[in-house]
């Protein structure tokens, strides 16, 4: 993993438990050859897109919450750390986060400081980040907790890369 800590997320729009489990199983099958490199959580990123044309339009928050729970349970059963990604609209309107607090949270709010009624372990604070070697904007995130097996510790800058001899 080139010295990077690695996790994964699945962009879900499941509206049945069966779909949620199928999605989790698909992601787990894709991750399995790389299990030794996964040091960060495996995330359910359920998002509501498309307004009244969305397949999730009108689906009750309880059903969405149950789908996310089923996804995360499956991820946990496979031996990974599950996490739920949410923004204000999805987290407070389309799902019931109070029923998902047994999982880690990754909160997306593009602001100078996050404001959430729930504790969260990661914060996505911008979609306009710049990273050397990447030609387009990238999402920017902060992690507030050390994950077991991770090489980076939050709040501690990584050691500088040594200069090769003769360089």
Q: Do 119 and 86 meet the contact criterion of CB atoms below 8 Å apart?
A: no
Q: Which stretches of the chain drop beneath a pLDDT of 50?
A: none
Pairing of strands 6-12, 82-87: unpaired
Would you state the pLDDT for residue 91?
93
pLDDT at 158: 57
**Each residue of 79-105: pLDDT tens digit?**
999 999 999 999 998 999 999 999 999
The whole model's pTM is what? 0.87
Whole-angstrom CA distances from 51 to 54, 85, 147 are 6, 19, 36
pLDDT of residue 160: 58
Nearest to 16 by CA among 67, 62, 76, 57: 67
Look up tokens 């946990």; give the residue. 76
Q: Which helix (H) or strand (E) holds 131?
A: none
């Amino acid at each position: 993993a080139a010295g990077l800590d690695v996790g994964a997320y699945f962009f879900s729009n499941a509206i049945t438990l069966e779909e949620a489990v199928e999605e989790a199983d698909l992601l787990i099958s894709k991750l399995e050859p790389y299990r030794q490199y996964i040091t960060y959580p495996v995330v359910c990123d359920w998002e509501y897109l498309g307004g009244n044309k969305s397949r999730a339009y009108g689906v009750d928050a309880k059903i969405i919450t149950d789908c996310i729970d089923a996804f995360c349970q499956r991820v946990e059963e496979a031996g990974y750390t599950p996490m739920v990604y949410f923004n204000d609209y999805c987290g407070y309107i389309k799902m019931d986060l109070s029923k998902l607090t047994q999982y880690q949270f990754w909160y997306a709010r593009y602001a100078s400081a996050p404001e959430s009624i729930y504790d969260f372990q990661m914060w996505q604070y911008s979609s306009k980040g710049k990273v050397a070697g990447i030609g387009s904007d990238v999402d920017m995130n902060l992690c507030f907790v050390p994950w077991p097996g991770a090489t980076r510790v939050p709040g501690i800058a990584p050691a500088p890369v040594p200069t090769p001899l003769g360089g």
